[in-house]
Structure 1
Amino acid sequence: MKMMQQISWDDFEKVELRIGTIVDAMKFPDARRPAYKLKVDFGELGIKTSSAQITKHYTLSGLIGRQIIGVINFPKKQIGKFMSEFLVTGFADENGDIVLSAVERKVPNGSKLV
């Protein structure tokens, strides 16, 4: 098992892990690996876009209205002709397919993980 590097509390506080609700999801045929384009409402922080390689476990229609956790303070990243504005978080299952990280109960969009 690889040793984890410890971080300080100040390091953790720099990461903006926020909750948002998926308001739109569409296919991303230009992606190298199967992915969706997502539009997520982060409340006062606005609607942000990202891509996510989550096609194994999720359908487009099943994503709408779902709350997810995103890292919103990474620099924007160009993915082909698409600009990603945040990182969708999740965990790999036993096959390496991504399962979205989410909250147990609905919370206000834009809430920060504390």
Structure 2
Amino acid sequence: MEDAATITWGDFEKVELRVGTIVEAIDFEKARRPAYKLKVDFGPQVGVLKSSAQITKHYTKEELVGRQVVAVVNFPKKQIADFMSECLVTGFADDNGDIVLTSVERPVPNGSRLI
């Protein structure tokens, strides 16, 4: 295991990991590395949030739309070039360092929180 600080249960509870469905994926022309601009629907409680994701190696824009992903929805907004990212879509690096999205095994309601 990498050197990581031990956290408390309270620390973990502060992180809002929720499931959302990608409703739009477009090229992010101004990104330094190839990326997409995503809109992700997290249901009525959270709404639709925007995110930038460097996932172009494994995913086309067309196959992303309709896909459920896991994201952190309570980070502060982050300016990336001319785009304001509102959530962090999660994933894992493969052997080449390219990101594979975190998703759920079966469909769940948008906005469901990891518990």
Return the TM-score normalized by structure 1.
0.98
Give 1:4 deviation, angstroms. 2.1
| Alignment partner, residue 9 of structure 2 | 9
Alignment of 1:1-114 (within 5 A): 2-44=2-44, 45-114=46-115
Give 1:2 deviation, angstroms. 3.5
**What amino acid sits opposite 1:87 in the alignment?**
L
Return the TM-score normalized by structure 2.
0.97
Give the share of equivalent positions with the same residue, in percent: 69
Unmatched 5+ residue regions in structure 2? none
User: In structure 2, what is the Cα distance between the partners aligned to 1:30 and 1:74?
Assistant: 22
Give 1:3 deviation, angstroms. 2.4
Summarize the Cα distance change of 1:35–1:11 in structure 2 as closer, same or farther, 3 Å threshold: same
Give 1:5 deviation, angstroms. 1.1
Aligned residues: 114
Alignment RMSD: 0.8
User: In structure 2, what is the Cα distance between the partners aligned to 1:2 and 1:24?
Assistant: 35
Cα deviation per residue 1:34-70 (whole Å; 9 max; x = unaligned)? 0000000000210000000000000000000000000
Shift >6 Å, 4+ stretches: none
User: In structure 2, what is the Cα distance between the partners aligned to 1:25 and 1:66?
Assistant: 11
